Amino acid sequence: MEEGKCIIVSAPSGAGKTTIVQRLLKMDLGLEFSISATSREKRETEISGKDYLFLSSDAFKSKIEDDLFLEFEEVYPNQFYGTLRSEIHRIWSKGQHVIFDVDVVGGLNLKKIFGEQALAVFIMPPSIDSLKERLINRRTESPEKLKLRLDKAEKELSFASEFDKIVVNDQLSHAIGDAEKLIQEFANN
């Protein structure tokens, strides 16, 4: 790997990690978003190449076979997420720090890969009930998918202590401020 730093932001689905990452990207922190690849269906509000690189399941598997992923995971049956090696090289070649918005297992995998080059931040919801409420209010999930996400979230919360830092998202502006401070300290070392 080339030289550069990585900020890994992970959380259970619905904890606010994407909102926090989007706000951090608008600040002058020298960050650029690593666009993950996924084989899941695109949501109505998402843009391919901006939010995710949307691939068919077969195309994703082909890139796995060609060793083009730094890390990947089958998050749900036949639903993959991963980080393409080319994406990291693209960002570092511009002199920027990479910021990842990834699920918990992906975040821990990236932390192992990048070691001291990475700051791994876990966004903690105030409670599992608040997480459930956020997911319900999104209105993007069927009851079956909602249950899958909540079951997965409960498991993911147990990994929080494996991250470098934990930011509790009980009030969005405070969580963003806490994350900004952590990134500034890490990036300037």
- For the chain, the structural domain boundaries read 6-187
pLDDT tens-digit map of 50-81: 889 999 999 999 999 999 999 898 888 889 99
**Of 67, 42, 68, 64, whose CA–CA distance to 53 is shortest?**
42
End-to-end CA distance of the chain: 19
165-168/118-124 β-pairing: parallel
pTM, entire model: 0.84
Is 6-187 in CATH node 3.40.50.300? yes
Tell me the C-alpha distance between 103 and 76, whole Å: 12
Mean pLDDT over 149-165 rounds to: 91
Please tell me the least confidently modeled range out of 40-54, 58-72, 171-185.
Answer: 40-54
For residue 65 the two structure tokens come to 């076979």
* 32 has pLDDT over 80: yes
pLDDT tens-digit map of 124-138: 998 888 877 877 887
pLDDT tens-digit map of 82-106: 999 999 999 999 999 999 998 898 8
* 35 has pLDDT over 60: yes
* 2 has pLDDT over 70: no
Mean pLDDT over 18-22 rounds to: 94
